[in-house]
Structure 1
Amino acid sequence: MKKVSVMLVAALLLSTGSIFANDSKKGVEPAKNPNLSEQIGNYLNDNNFDEEHQGYEAQVLFMLNDDKEIIVLSVDTDKEDLEGFIKSRLNYKEVDLNSYEAGKKYTVSVRVAS
């Protein structure tokens, strides 16, 4: 009888622990802001590049100012039209971030795809 009561208490403790470990807001999705890469992708998404431009790549170095605006510092690519496009689409565009560090430098890869 003593073994049964010990087993019952152990089972009760294990099930109670797993109940508290579950997320109480399981069915509720938090409001999601797109991350920085997604927001940059949205700014660059609508373009007029055709099939001959597919595969173009660039490394974009930028920072965010105090107003949460993108400041493009450099675009590392050998395609001048891609460099101009990126600078015109991203420079001084505001992003929606909950937390960020003004003046911190970021790098993002950009590739033209269909």
Structure 2
Amino acid sequence: MRKLTFIILVSLGLHIAIASDDAKPAEQLRNEIVKLLQSPRMELENNEAQAVISFTITTERELVVLSVKSENKLMDSFVKARLNYKKVDYNVIENGQVFRIPLKIVIKN
């Protein structure tokens, strides 16, 4: 069976939606999300898929995925299974912050 190498590209822009203001949280949070999403085991049409993930972080520092917008139906379950209720090292600044992060998965043979 051929071995696939997966590359997950998460845009450098991790955005917080707070009213109309945008701010950037620590790069460390982005890196933790990238690690949690590594090595997906799924078939992708054209060997790539894109999504926009909206999530929040609880006071217990757990990620809670609010939505996954993608044309690929598998992305929703993949992202939620990998991120929901996983602990991260990020201090919640304001309760109820909603983070949005673009995600692109590319499979290289």
Task: Judge same fold: TM > 0.5, yes or no.
Answer: yes
- How many residues are aligned here? 81
Structure 1 pair 47/73, CA: closer, same or farther in 2 (3 Å)?
same
Work out whether 1:84 is the aligned partner of 2:77: yes
Q: How does 1:1-114 map to 2 (within 5 A)?
A: 35-50=28-43, 52=45, 54-97=47-90, 99-101=91-93, 102-114=95-107
State the 1:45 CA deviation: 0.4
Partner of residue 28, structure 1: none
5+ residue gaps, structure 1, are: 1-32
Name 1:7's counterpart in structure 2: none
In the TM superposition, residue 53 of structure 1 has moved relative to its aligned partner by: 5.5
Moved >6 Å (runs of 4+): none
Whether the 8 Å CA contact 1:53–1:112 is kept in 2: the answer is no
- Give the distance between the partners of 1:72 and 1:54, measured in 2 at CA: 24
Structure (1/2) with the larger helix percentage: 1
TM-score (normalizing by structure 1): 0.63
Tell me, yes or no, if the aligned pair for 1:43 and 1:89 is still in contact at 8 Å: yes
Give the residue type in structure 2 aligned to 1:45: Q
> Structure with the greater relative contact order (CA < 8 A, sep ≥ 6): 1 or 2?
2
Residue identity (%): 26
Larger proportion of strand: 2
3-state SS of paired residue (1:113): strand
Give RMSD over aligned pairs: 2.0
Tell me the amino acid that sits aligned with residue 109 of structure 1. Answer: P
Measured after TM superposition, the shift of residue 50 of structure 1 is 4.5
**TM-score computed with the length of structure 2 as normaliser:** 0.66
